[in-house]
Structure 1
Amino acid sequence: MWNPLDSITVRTFLILIGGTMLSGALVFTLAGTERKNLESHLRTHHAAERIEQAIQLLDSAPQASRQAIAQVYANYGLRVDLAPTVGVVGQAPDSEITQELRQQLGSDRPIEIVDQENKDCPAFTGPHPEDKPHCISVFTALKDGTRIKLDVARHDHPPPPFRGNFMRDLITFMAGLAVFAWIVALMTTRPLRQLARAANALGSNLKHPPLAETPGPREVREASIAFNRMQASIQSYIQERTFMLSAIAHDLQTPLTRLRLRLEKVSDPALRTALVADLTVTQSLVREGLDYAHTITTDEPFELVDIDSLTEALCNDAIDAGSEITFDGTSNTTIWGSPLALRRCISNLMDNAVKYGQFAHVSVQKSAGKALISVIDGGEGIPAHDLEKVFQPFHRLEDSRSRESGGTGLGLTIARIIAERHQGRIILKNMGVAELGLVAVLELPLAPSN
């Protein structure tokens, strides 16, 4: 099951998006708090200015005109009581308005301020009427000693959280942020993807070109240099080992040929037959060792190959040689590969089936953009825990891969190397059906023309 969180690109993207959204939410919260504090300060300053202006106007007006001035202010949310006789019950307001009024009116003027919510408060005349009347009651005295009370309506309606096109702008911002975060995630993980592709390519082709050490972050350059050094070391090691194997196998052929000629002079027929059989096995091992070295080191050119014709021709050749092989099925496809290498690969699978399963049934079909060549034998199959081990060089099963059967343990190894060089694979499965043993399926990608 595909898990998107397995991708470092997706994780980087989510971290960028999540971190930015968290930072944005924090900034939005702090900005909203600061905005509320600023609006509260401005309302307090505005209320203090209105009270100061009213008191200064009443100070300068004749006593006969003060009632008329009070009636005018009543129309604008400020009620002036020129003969206060009853106090009000409320809470002490914030110290900010008290300090501002004392600073503007003078510290020698008596000032008492009460913050209250009741029906006696003047109604707020702004765009958002309050559910509960809220006002500040200021008790003070004019310069001539007249006691007055001023009730100033306050607006405490919270501002709407979203105004105008806020949601549209937020969605646009988030979409742009997502695109930007995805681009950054791709740029950040691109060196890792290149390294992974190079490692996969190295696994199927030791001669794959090294990574380009392009300018970039220091860590990426160091990783590319280290990977190229590792690739060069592996190539050198494989080349030295392969050359040694090839040289040993090649040099053994001459003495083995002389030995075979001398064995023909052995007078005892039974002994001669046994010695010749052992020598034949040894020569077969030498030949397969050469084939193995040739498969690893040779880089044969690729061309379009008709897989149906190639497989059918191999089956006909094997039938002419006396092998019990049947063939059916067509895929009507071509693949991009080396004809000689593919012949060696399919032949090894067929020889393996005939050698250990008495017969081989070969079929070709097309499935999911791949050509499938299946080889079924009539043997006893292979234990499940050994299905992967048989691909190891010189690995033989005790019961079926014995010296008497002529096996060397390199046939499947060579076949897998060729398959992987063609971007394919070989799958071994037990049929689990009477009279049928093992099925080897060679999967090869189709050529682009298909």
Structure 2
Amino acid sequence: MALLVALALFVAQAINLALLLRERSSFRVAQASRPAAFRLADAIDQEASGRRITPDRGRVRVAARSPITAEMAPQPEMAREVRAQLDEFGVRMRRVEVAIAPPGTYQVPLSRFERRMAARHGPEPPPETIVVAAQQPGGRWLVLAGGLPRGDTRLFWRLLAQTLILYGMVLLPVLWVARRISRPLRELAAAARAYSPRTPPRPLEEEGPPDVTAVIAAFNALSLRVTAMLDEKDRMLGAIGHDLRTPLAALRVRIESVEDEQDRARMADTIAEMNRTLEDILSLARLGRPSEPETEVDLAALVDAVVEDFRDLGDDVAFEEAERLRMRLRPSLIRRAVRNLIENAVKYAGAAEVSLRAGAASAAIVVADRGPGIPADRLDDVFGAFIRLETSRNRETGGIGLGLALARAIVEEAGGAIVLAARDGGGLVATITLPRG
């Protein structure tokens, strides 16, 4: 807004300057032409009354031909003005010519006053000379020469000062108003970017113009409604989880009465898979509002504990020993993300290699396998919920495609990133990067 106002003021002042320059040009023409016409008419009156025309009186002299040469700059507009003035005085001339001679190229006769001033103070620098030549009906030329009025250089500085005053009087209030509007808008944008369902909403102060305060009030109400909806969602998910776990537990008890051991084991596996699916869905839905607080833990020990759990089950999982690495995070969620990656590697490759790398600003947990891998154009697709690649992962491996989606959500909620990449020699490498500090 301030730039637009400044541009408008600049354009207005430019137009004003053009009009003033045009007016000053017209004034210079009139300033030079009217006295010239008066002196020419006065000289003709002197001649008609029997007095001789002398150059010292009005600087009018008689010449046989026009003194205007090709080196002089013709001034047709001034010539027309001189002729019009002479017509008003009742003086008829055959031709009227006006030209400007460069300084020092045309000798201008000085008046007595100018000669006295030059003798007292020294001659001034010669200005441009305006030469007016008027041809009488008899063929003689009356010539009048004088200094061209100098341009007023103070006009530019006066206009510049006026422009600066206008800028100060107009732009300062505009900048004040713009700041008064933009400050609450910036605070509103910052609050919108910083909104998190993990913390209770803090209402913004409603200030600024009426339109801005209305927007801030609407944002405050919206944040309260969103938080209330998320709270209701958590309560609903808790109720669903409780209601589903109860019949699943009852089914787990009832299958003990099945005599066929193979059928009983198959039913138990199905119930266990349903429980894991339920846990994954509830965990994915509750992310962003975790109840677990951040604590300082040893990341190397946490990863080692997850690896030991798989080893206890007889899985082939290797872990490179790493130094202690203290970090603030939510241990249960990070443990869940690492477990999901190792579980995928064990399912699809039969083994996993886990390592931990520490940097100055981040730490990386790497899970590598020698499985069938994932096509390069599908590496990002597998992070979607309920996405499974049938070409390399069949139904017998279990799962419904939530493991990687849940792992990415956990890591991103912690401010990190998870990336899949093809491994040299075949297989897949999954890297979790977490910020330190």
* TM-score > 0.5 by shorter chain: yes
Per-residue CA distance 1:16-37 (angstroms, 9 max, x = gap)? 38x8468636743651453254
Tell me by how many angstroms 1:428 deviates: 2.6
How many residues are treated as equivalent by the alignment? 406
Separation in 2, partners of 1:357, 1:183: 66
Matched, 1:337 2:329: yes
Q: Is the 8 A contact 2:41 2:86 kept in 1?
A: no
- The match for 1:135 among 124, 131, 138 is 131
Separation in 2, partners of 1:416, 1:315: 19
- The match for 2:239 among 236, 243, 247 is 247
Matches for 1:38-77 after TM superposition, within 5 Å:
38-49=24-35, 52=38, 70-72=54-56
Q: Is the 8 A contact 2:181 2:208 kept in 1?
A: no
Q: Is the 8 A contact 2:41 2:91 kept in 1?
A: no
Separation in 2, partners of 1:361, 1:182: 61
Matched, 1:80 2:60: yes
Tell me by how many angstroms 1:263 deviates: 1.4
Match of 2:263 in 1: 271
Separation in 1, partners of 2:319, 2:174: 55
Matches for 1:45-444 after TM superposition, within 5 Å:
45-49=31-35, 52=38, 70-72=54-56, 79-81=59-61, 83=62, 93=78, 95-98=80-83, 107-110=89-92, 114-117=96-99, 122=107, 127=125, 134-138=130-134, 149-153=142-146, 155=148, 197-202=190-195, 205=197, 207=199, 209=201, 212=204, 214-328=206-320, 334-366=326-358, 369-384=361-376, 386-398=378-390, 404-431=396-423, 433-437=424-428, 439-444=429-434
Output the amino acid matched with 2:258: V
TM-score (norm 2): 0.70
Q: Is the 8 A contact 2:36 2:82 kept in 1?
A: no
Q: Is the 8 A contact 2:59 2:145 kept in 1?
A: yes
Output the amino acid matched with 1:41: F
Question: Are residues 217 and 405 of structure 1, via their aligned partners in 2, closer, same or farther at CA, if it must alter by over 3 Å?
Answer: farther
TM-score (norm 1): 0.68
Separation in 1, partners of 2:353, 2:37: 106
Name the SS of the counterpart of 2:258 in structure 1.
Answer: coil
Per-residue CA distance 1:132-181 (angstroms, 9 max, x = gap)? x752224689xxxxx982423464998999999x99xx9xxx9xxxxx99
Match of 2:435 in 1: 445
Q: Is the 8 A contact 2:86 2:92 kept in 1?
A: no
Separation in 1, partners of 2:212, 2:322: 48
Tell me by how many angstroms 1:336 deviates: 4.0
Matched, 1:28 2:28: no
Name the SS of the counterpart of 1:72 in structure 2.
Answer: coil
Q: Is the 8 A contact 2:366 2:430 kept in 1?
A: yes
Question: Are residues 359 and 140 of structure 1, via their aligned partners in 2, closer, same or farther at CA, if it must alter by over 3 Å?
Answer: same
Separation in 1, partners of 2:396, 2:388: 12
Quote the RMSD (CA, aligned, Å): 5.1
Separation in 2, partners of 1:361, 1:408: 24
Per-residue CA distance 1:64-91 (angstroms, 9 max, x = gap)? 9966xx3436xxxx7422x556578985
Separation in 2, partners of 1:205, 1:377: 36
In structure 2, list runs of 5 or more residues that go unmatched. 69-73, 110-122, 168-172
Q: Is the 8 A contact 1:92 1:114 kept in 2?
A: no
Output the amino acid matched with 1:45: Q
Output the amino acid matched with 2:31: H
Separation in 2, partners of 1:225, 1:240: 23
Tell me by how many angstroms 1:250 deviates: 1.9
- Between the two proteins, what is the percent identity of the paired residues? 28
Tell me by how many angstroms 1:355 deviates: 2.9
Q: Is the 8 A contact 1:110 1:140 kept in 2?
A: yes
Tell me by how many angstroms 1:38 deviates: 0.4
Separation in 1, partners of 2:155, 2:296: 65
Separation in 2, partners of 1:240, 1:340: 24
Q: Is the 8 A contact 2:373 2:422 kept in 1?
A: yes
Tell me by how many angstroms 1:295 deviates: 3.8
Per-residue CA distance 1:215-256 (angstroms, 9 max, x = gap)? 234554444444455544544444444433332222232332
Q: Is the 8 A contact 1:113 1:136 kept in 2?
A: no
Tell me by how many angstroms 1:260 deviates: 1.9
Per-residue CA distance 1:19-60 (angstroms, 9 max, x = gap)? 846863674365145325404413531453366468669978
Match of 1:7 in 2: none
Match of 2:170 in 1: none
Tell me by how many angstroms 1:422 deviates: 1.9
